[in-house]
Structure 1
Amino acid sequence: MPDDYFTILRSPAPGVITVALTGDLDIGARDEIRESLLAAVEDAAPDEARLVVDLRGVRFIDSEAVSAILEGYLAAEAAGIGFRLAGALGIVRRVFDVIGLQHLFES
């Protein structure tokens, strides 16, 4: 879903759904992030083992966007779908580390 300052792209593959987020993620992106992640969980086939949120292209993230990602995580967990974060760099990675969510990153 293109916007002036962020994009969300969902790419399903066997066993995994990847949701790539790019740009600046703040309160203006919150609802679309939440809707995209909840739809990915809802659309996940029983054989899809996990949902990966790719943060490689994210330049900025605030608490509202983190909250939307956490809602996706909780929905995936409730549905029995694995959830992982990937690709966060710099300050974006630091935000997740500081709030204690580093365990959600792929190793």
Structure 2
Amino acid sequence: MADEHRAAENGELSVTRSDVDGVTVLGLRGEIDCDTVGALARAMPPADPTAGSRVVVDLSGVTFMDSSGINALIAAHQVTRAARGWLRLAGLRDSVRRTVELVGLDTLATCHPTVREAIAA
């Protein structure tokens, strides 16, 4: 946990990946920008059209996200949708939520207060 906090303080992005009831949960901490977005892209599960890709991205630890992050999440939405699945966002801080809403990403990927609520929706 200390490494994740250090990453966030240094303007980096740490990603944890877990499986909860067949849903891939990506926990992000830090900043998502052109220098760090690759970590998010690499963490996304491969599309599986036979099983459907269900992904929740926990943004509660994200302090900043620019257009690189928006583009990565749009791409993730397209991949999960093509695989007959879905992408949901959870725990958005106000500054990140404003960015997501400004570009309309919240109309593609629903936003939820918590990971638990995103999985249950």
Gaps of 5+ in 2: 113-120
The alignment's C-alpha RMSD in Å is: 2.4
Contact 1:21 1:55 in 2 (8 A): yes
Runs of 4+ in 1 over 6 A off after TM superposition: none
Question: What is the TM-score normalised by the length of structure 2?
Answer: 0.74
Q: Does 1:26 align with 2:33?
A: yes
Gaps of 5+ in 1: none
**Count of residue pairs brought into register by the alignment:** 104
Q: Which residue of 2 aligns with 1:60?
A: 64
Bigger relative contact order, structure 1 or 2 (CA pairs below 8 A, ≥6 apart): 1
Deviation of 1:45 (Å): 7.8
- Output the CA distance in 1 between the equivalents of 2:49 and 2:90: 19
- Output the CA distance in 2 between the equivalents of 1:49 and 1:32: 19
**Percent identity over paired residues:** 29
Q: Which residue of 2 aligns with 1:42?
A: 47
Contact 1:41 1:51 in 2 (8 A): no
- Find the structure with the greater CA-based Rg: 2
Deviations 1:63-83 (A, max 9, x none): 012111111111001111111
- Output the CA distance in 1 between the equivalents of 2:56 and 2:20: 11
Amino acid at match of 1:18: V
Question: What is the TM-score normalised by the length of structure 1?
Answer: 0.83
